[in-house]
Amino acid sequence: MVFGWQSPSGCLSVDWHYYGSSTKNFVPYYKRANFRKSLGMGTTRPNGSLYTKIEGAVAHIEFGHPASNSFVMELLDRLASEIQQISENKEVKLIVLKSEGDRAFCAGASFDELVQIATLEEGKRFFGGFAKVINAMRKSNIPIIGRIQGKAVGGGVGLISACDYVLATEHASVRLSEISIGIAPLVIAPAVERKIGKAAIAELAFSPTEWKNAYWARDKGLFSKVYDNIKELDKELDFFTSQLAKYERPALEAMTKVLWEGTEHWDSLLETRAEMSGKLGLSPETKNILERIKKKT
């Protein structure tokens, strides 16, 4: 996962109720105008949020934060819990996962929380945030459809990879930047590899400063379809989900489970990967890189 900005903690609810509390602002390094411009900004609301709206048999889960829709650990925990609860709702046949705004899909996890890691336990907890979400998506009883309107970095790529079907715009470039700061995308790697294979994930991971465009992502299997703009994306998304929602839930459940065959060991695998990542985050080399980044602001 990339560590772009700190997003707020927020609470979940159904039917578009909003909860949330403010936290610290963006990580200074990533406040740089050129980097923020390259990702694209989402909502301008100062407090992050997570919403669930159920329309008929379709549940829409939407996360957001002005810092390019990034996450802190608490919000990841809540997202994992919401996916689990919704997938157990027998009245719902599919989930649409999306983010706010018309630019970045997700800038990954909190840089502020990364630099504050002081113990292995804290590191494991930090890197385990996306592990919880990916495992919740993996265990979902119903298909999860990704609606990707813009760029995704690190953990955002992990979320996309854990969706069962993905619609995106041509602006939805992807990047894994972890190695550039002394860590590696170990936690999300199984999900990404499952979608695009070892060769393609190596191409992403070992080119941490390079964006791969949406057509590259589609050709590798990360995206199912790519559209010119958000209007076309949402038109197709509405049609696709309305058609899918007409089918019987047992059939959708059965197909979803088949897609995730062979991943039953991921609870322990991703926990191990989180611990490995925590060790990297505590290494003197990584700490030095992070300190240099902080001093540049």
Domains of the chain plus CATH, in order, are: 28-295 (3.90.226.10)
Phi/psi zone of residue 287: left (φ > 0), alpha (ψ -120 to 50 degrees), beta? alpha
Mean pLDDT, the chain, rounded, equals 85
Please choose, from the candidates 159, 162, 163, the residue with its C-alpha nearest in 3D space to the C-alpha of residue 104: 159
Please write the tens of the pLDDT for every residue from 69-99: 888 888 899 899 999 999 999 999 999 999 9
Residue 27 — pLDDT band, cuts 50, 70, 90? very low
Task: Provide the β-strand partners of residue 42.
Answer: none
Cα 123 from chain centre: 19
pLDDT at site 135: 98
Q: What pLDDT digit, counting tens, does each position of 103-123 carry?
A: 899 989 877 788 889 999 999
The whole-angstrom separation of Cα 6 and Cα 19 is 17
Of 15-19, 141-145, 198-202, 238-242, the poorest mean pLDDT is in: 15-19
Q: How many Å apart are CA 143 and CA 150, to the nearest integer?
A: 22
Amino acid symbol at 233? L
The pLDDT assigned to 67 comes to 75
Q: What's the rounded mean pLDDT across residues 273-284? A: 95
Average pLDDT, stretch 239-257? Answer: 98
Tell me what pLDDT residue 222 has.
98
pTM of the model: 0.84
Between strands 152-153 and 165-169, the pairing is unpaired
Q: Which of 38, 269, 57 is nearest to 143 (CA)?
A: 57
Q: Which residues is 52 bridged to in the sheet?
A: 14, 61
| Spatial contact of 187 and 270, defined as CB atoms under 8 Å apart | yes
Query: What residue spans of 206-265 are helical by DSSP H?
Result: 214-220, 230-244, 249-259
pLDDT band for position 48 (50/70/90)?
low
Is pLDDT of 8 > 90?
Answer: no
Q: Residue 192 phi/psi, 5° resolution?
A: -65, -45
Q: Distance of CA 40 to CAs 33, 45, 99, 171, Å?
A: 10, 15, 13, 10
Residue 46's pLDDT band (cuts 50, 70, 90): very low
pLDDT of residue 297: 53
pLDDT-derived band of residue 44, with 50, 70 and 90 as boundaries?
Answer: low
